[in-house]
Structure 1
């Protein structure tokens, strides 16, 4: 046993520690803290350089006029005032809100339904879980966005399938009335991550609750709505917050499907895509930085609303 271990063993008794023993233990604790900070140093450097530093820089740029070619010029709140009269920004907010409020509930409903199905103890559960989780790993990638563009194109798989039934197809991504729906479908398709979390939550519900309800004559639907859902509300809340934040940050799908324009007729102009265009197409970095902080504010408000409302519908054990 080490000297420190012996010292701690002796000090665990009723004999009070001497000043020398306290100094030795304090010195050893400082040595442990130094080792911990040494191991954390790469992460702390990454946090400062990759996250905190750019955030502070973007906050400063949001109060300036900056086009990458000239030095930033301080203009106060002008960038934020410009946002009030920016019609394309208003349209991008509307598109984004529709995308979030439609795709997230559908995605969580699909994830919960599949999780409940897999919770029945199917053979090869690990294989099914991996297969269903795979789209979540690829859903935000460029490759899947390109594939989605081909599937819903004029000669895509969707039109080839409905042609079997004599239905004439269209270019779904080129029609303003359906383009956003294809992106919503893509987000719903990537239900794997919340599904795995739902499945873990379902496995934590005691079986005795369902057995007792079944003995009392409760149907499967009654057991699901009266037992499973109330006990699963903390997991639903967790997934809801994460997926709303993720949906507000959606970018790659709209960029690839629309060719970076948000078309047709701005029907897929997500807020993040418009922010990108203002910053890297128009080189209006000051305005883009202001838009980025406004998006942070929007996400923060919706997250705060979710936490406030959770006390009315989320049930915890205590």
Structure 2
């Protein structure tokens, strides 16, 4: 039977982390090793992790010093990679990046790994992030689940992990990994029937404006095409004109250029992302021209090259 290891960077989650531990301990298919990386918590998170490690021989706790501030994107990746060093000597088949504010069913990992075993080309997968509303789990609005897996719960097949070279230590790591995998022929997707409850509101630590700025910067890091970003901001404005999210998203993307922020420099990666996004824009333009032609049959449709929309990945989100 294939083995998996889990890395959990966690910071100041004493209120919620015990439920994550309880979910892991109850798994019908437990990991070979679970590394909990306490990323400088100032509450009781470190103590909770140590207690779990004492009670279960397959759990290890690692403590990092408090850096004194949050470091979105890069901070969690530094902690994650430090945890990865502690499983380097193990013969694992799947690597899991799991947040410390989640709860899930006892057969969650057993069923997740079944998806990988049934599909040899599945490189990255994970459950559907949900929130409990009026006593029931409701899926959060997200990018295309046929491509995107939320960073809170990602499972990497070892061969895919090695081909993409691990995770970058920058905002946008959880989009770059999937695009890298797709570029190399791996499939990536969410398992919608496997619900994972997130116990706190996403984006709340930085505020809504800063969260959208961070998303825009992440799109810059992932080499999103400027025209695609313009269309993305415009679509966001049409959906929520008074929220300021479109402006924040655009500013985050533009700030990457102004600050000369590091990003993926692989030319093949940039070409792959741009081709996907420009094909998607052409596909959407073709759809609108056909709709217009149906509404106004005397007007000739726009001349555009249609992309393969059914094959679009997260580059279109």
TM-score, normalising length from structure 2? 0.23
Give 1 or 2: higher strand fraction: 2
Higher RCO, 1 vs 2 (CA within 8 Å, ≥6 residues apart): 1
Give 1 or 2: higher helix fraction: 1
Which protein shows a greater Rg? 1
TM-score, normalising length from structure 1? 0.23
